[in-house]
Amino acid sequence: MSICIVENALAVQLAVDGGTPVRAGSWPSWPVVTPRTEALYLEALRSGRWTVSGAYTGRPSFEQRFATAFADFHGVAHCVPTCHGSSALTIALEALGVGAGTEVLVPGLTWVACASAVSSLGAVPIIVDIDPKTFCMSAEAARAAITPRTKAIMLVHLFSAIADIDAFTALSRDSGVPLLEDCSQAHGATWRGRRVGSFGKVAAFSFQQTKLLTSGEGGAVLTDDVELAELMQQLRADGRRFLATPRIGELDLEEVGAIQGRNFCMTEFQAAILLDGLERLDQENDCRRQNATRLSVELEKIGGIALQETPTGCDGRTFYHLCLVIDPAQWFGWSVDEVSRAVAEELALGAIEPVDTPLSDNILYNPLRSPRIAPELRSLYDPGRFELPVAWQARKTAFTLPHRALLGSADDMLCIAEALRKVKDAASQSPRALR
């Protein structure tokens, strides 16, 4: 049960300054556990097989069942599950031939793993600025950044937007450089009626705890290309692939040894939890979408604040982060850091914060501190060489709320709107000089 306190006091006292918060009461919890989640988890626990390298039991493993279900969900031929989103990106990049002497286009605003997965393979991440409306990679900037060394375009669908898939499909066709879709923030979203993750040559997903589909940690790649699928299967299982005719009580893997693999396998527990979550995904996405629509009506009344935009081709929007963009002039010069901190206190909802710092200046992206980078190549990896004015503009105007805020009721959306209104009223009473 939640109570939304509407204040009409002349002098607004924010919760961050000791006032009464707008919101008392809890928010929907994440991750979601149902009796079915527990049943599947226990089934995996008792099955006698806990991972890919356990003996074949005579029944398809959870990992194989999830791979089939996830591929079918996307209308894509092959899925290879992995232990993390980062390892999914790594095997996708390796399968596309990314390594020493190559480059990969990576958007300037995204989670650090996008760039670090590239630099860990000895390739150079070319950090590309974003589109001012969608905050996803700018197709124009990407076109200008392609060189004969570019091996892949890592297209990230960020927060609650889908990158301009039409423009990037055209760019990939014109340049011959394959698209690697990173759908770690857009599970289940659609573009012109088709699931994202089915447009790139390969797509990668993360199932880390905060994501829309989760097993705590976990990842997967999708592809229609059977050769890439075979390669990625081996890359993530120390060079082994599944046998066509496994025998009960024995390993169902054969040693191929055609490439240098690593162990990036998903456990049976992760796969069991994902099988459950996948069944709920569309319904949870619908709920979040309806609540975001309700909230956007309220945002128009407040003024100076709007949802991150997504291109019109996106006809099934998802909300990993609810990303809100303020116009600082209409917020009386308050910085997005100040606004988001105050909103977080009003709502008693963690993880409300400004968007990531652009990769040119992100404290988590430090390729020059890695012993892997050859001294003579250091200048190529210097993140500071990339100028990202649009990503910086986003950092200065946008903040995000976690998606569980959208799993609640219509009244919860009125609470969020009330908190925003209260903070804007407080801003009007103590304006700052615009920077």
Ligand X SMILES: *Cc1c(COP(=O)(O)O)cnc(C)c1O
List of residues contacting ligand X (CB under 6 A):
84-86, 89, 110-111, 113-114, 156, 182, 184-185, 206, 208, 219
Task: Tell me whether residue 14 or residue 267 sits nearer to ligand X (CB atom).
Answer: 267
In angstroms, the CA 338 to CA 225 distance is 48
Q: How far is CA 293 from CA 45, 299, 305, 372, 413, in A?
A: 41, 10, 14, 47, 10
Our CB check for ligand X shows the closer of 114 and 222 to be 114
How many Å apart are CA 138 and CA 387, to the nearest integer?
13
Q: For the CA atoms of the chain, what is the radius of gyration?
A: 23
CB-CB contact of 411 with 291 (8 Å): no
Q: Sheet of 190-191: strands edge to edge?
A: 194-195, 190-191, 314-316
CB closer to ligand X, 110 vs 234: 110
Closest distance of CB 208 from ligand X, Å:
4
Closest to 200 measured CA to CA, from 92, 309, 111, 80: 92
- Smallest gap from Cβ 272 to ligand X, in A, equals 18
In the complex, minimum distance from the CB of residue 112 to ligand X, in angstroms, rounded to a whole number:
8
Cβ distance to ligand X smaller for residue 185 or 233: 185
Least distance from C-beta 311 to ligand X, angstroms?
18
Judged by beta carbon, residue 39 or residue 364, the one nearer ligand X is 364
What is the nearest approach in angstroms of ligand X to the Cβ of residue 257? 27
Q: State both tokens at 210.
A: 């905060």
Please, are residues 109 and 355 in contact by the beta-carbon 8 Å criterion? yes
Residue 263 exposure: Cα atoms within 13 Å on the Cβ side: 4
Least distance in angstroms from the C-beta of 98 to ligand X:
15
Contact status, residue 134 vs residue 309, Cβ threshold 8 Å: yes
Q: Please, what is the minimum distance in Å from the beta carbon of residue 300 to ligand X?
A: 29
* C-beta of 81 vs 261, nearer to ligand X: 81
CA gap 273, 264 in Å, rounded = 18
Strands (E), 3-157: 3-4, 23-24, 78-82, 103-107, 124-128, 150-156
| Residue whose CB is less far from ligand X, 128 or 427 | 128
Nearer of residues 339 and 405 to ligand X, judged by Cβ: 405
Query: Which C-beta is closer to ligand X: that of 223 or that of 427?
Result: 223
Beta strands in 83-215 (DSSP E): 103-107, 124-128, 150-156, 179-182, 190-191, 194-195, 202-206
**Shortest distance (Å) from residue 219 CB to ligand X:** 5
Nearest to 380 by CA among 362, 367, 364: 367
CB of 24 to ligand X, least distance (A): 32
The residue number whose beta carbon is nearest to ligand X equals 85
Of the candidates 46, 71, 72, 51, the residue with the CA atom closest to the CA atom of residue 61: 51
Please provide the size of the chain in residues. 435
